[in-house]
Homo-oligomer: A and B are copies of this chain.
Amino acid sequence: MKETEISELGEFGLIDHLTKDIQPVNKSTIYGIGDDAAVLEYGDRETLVTTDMLMEGVHFDLTYTPLKHLGYKAASVNISDIYAMNGKPCQMTLSVALSKRFSVEDMEDFYDGVMLACRKHGVDLVGGDTTSSLTGLAISITCIGEARKEDIVYRNGAKQNDLICVSGNLGAAYMGLQLLEREKAVFNSTGHDDGEPFSPDFSGKEYLLERQLKPEARGDIIKELAEAGIKPTSMMDISDGLSSELIHICRQSGTGCQVYQNRIPIDYQTAVMAEEMNMDVYTCALNGGEDYELLFTVPLECHERIMTLKDVRLIGHMTKPELGRMLVTDSGQEIELKAQGWQSHLDE
């Protein structure tokens, strides 16, 4: 199939082409793409805004990331931030800077992924910017959501004795990344002058790849919590790793915490892969990041109701600040939680 050079369409042509079928689904979207700014209308609700920037070579590697997945992930990551406030994601703006090596078809794939996530979560794409880049792809997304004032959950509301919960399981996205990086290294070292595409056999490890390449924003958990009548006292999504996020919540809430290593939810495939790679699976779960699961605290009296929720695990409790932020190992030893994560990118 012949690929279309982006310069054939131009900026406005490309935007028209990519956005012509977009229909707003939210009543609050008065006017979307096509003017200097989108127009949103909120009544008695509060507006939530979050933004993220993703850079090629830092946040994603196109050797093994299909553009459609990248679009889905970029959108999901921002949608996840609105859920992490206990809000409903409603609108999104999408800015993309791309070098000449990208074609219109590439951008279609990318937009397909973005729109798939948007449709799944009822989000309207209402604007953005498309521009050129000298090197690689840069993506910036802003997601806007709404919530009733009394429903919004901040990071700073956790209290002593609150229970600490996480959704899903942790470390899988990180193990997926390790797997992809390992296969990429093999691929590069064996030489591929014949232009053979990167397509290793990942069978049996699909779940890890999916968690890395196509993370899901946990709107289902937000819905479950609401249905169970539980309002968390604090909440975050886990993007940098459980340790880092727990430290944020403790700092902002003025508490300490105690988390039990053997309560941390880990998928079977994650454990197998960690073993295969000779890595400590708990280190991966605590510091791996990119899980986009929800970390939240609830009052002690919610204990029974929390236990009825599907896919939510109780991993510890909040303590007095003097007790520090501690991981209790299987052998009963207390180790201080340390933040790792994004820092490593700059140190590379």
Footprint of B on A, CB under 8 Å?
Answer: 6-7, 10-12, 30-31, 34-42, 46-59, 81-82, 84-85, 87, 91, 93, 95-97, 100, 126-129, 131-136, 138, 140, 142-145, 149, 152, 154-155, 236-237, 252, 339, 342-343, 345-347
The answer to whether A138 and B39 touch across the interface, beta carbons within 8 angstroms, is no
Find the B residue at minimum CB distance from A128: B51
The answer to whether A49 and B129 touch across the interface, beta carbons within 8 angstroms, is no
The interface residues of chain B lying within 8 Å CB-to-CB of A339 are: 12
Q: Which 7 A-B pairs have the closest CB atoms?
A: A140-B140, A37-B50, A53-B95, A40-B47, A36-B84, A36-B81, A37-B48
| Copies per complex of this chain | 2
Smallest beta-carbon distance A128→chain B, Å: 6
A36-B85, A135-B135 given; A126·B346 CB < 8 A: no
A10-B343, A36-B82 given; A97·B52 CB < 8 A: no
The interface residues of chain B lying within 8 Å CB-to-CB of A47 are: 39-42, 47, 144
Find the B residue at minimum CB distance from A138: B138
A6-B346, A7-B347, A346-B100 given; A49·B38 CB < 8 A: yes
The answer to whether B46 and A342 touch across the interface, beta carbons within 8 angstroms, is no
Choose one: B127, B131, B347; the contact of A55 (CB below 8 Å).
B131
The interface residues of chain B lying within 8 Å CB-to-CB of A40 are: 46-49
Alpha-carbon distance A95/B345, docked complex (angstroms): 16
The answer to whether B53 and A138 touch across the interface, beta carbons within 8 angstroms, is yes
A42-B47, A346-B132 given; A37·B126 CB < 8 A: no
A11-B342, A49-B142, A95-B51 given; A39·B152 CB < 8 A: yes
Find the B residue at minimum CB distance from A343: B10
Smallest beta-carbon distance A92→chain B, Å: 10
Choose one: B30, B49, B132; the contact of A46 (CB below 8 Å).
B30
The interface residues of chain B lying within 8 Å CB-to-CB of A129 are: 51-53, 140
Q: List 20 A-B contacts (CB under 8 A).
A: A7-B347, A10-B346, A34-B155, A36-B81, A36-B236, A37-B81, A38-B50, A39-B46, A39-B85, A41-B149, A49-B93, A49-B144, A51-B128, A51-B129, A55-B133, A55-B138, A58-B97, A58-B132, A131-B345, A134-B135
The answer to whether A37 and B87 touch across the interface, beta carbons within 8 angstroms, is yes
Find the B residue at minimum CB distance from A50: B37
The interface residues of chain B lying within 8 Å CB-to-CB of A127 are: 49-51
Choose one: B31, B42, B347; the contact of A42 (CB below 8 Å).
B42
Alpha-carbon distance A134/B126, docked complex (angstroms): 29
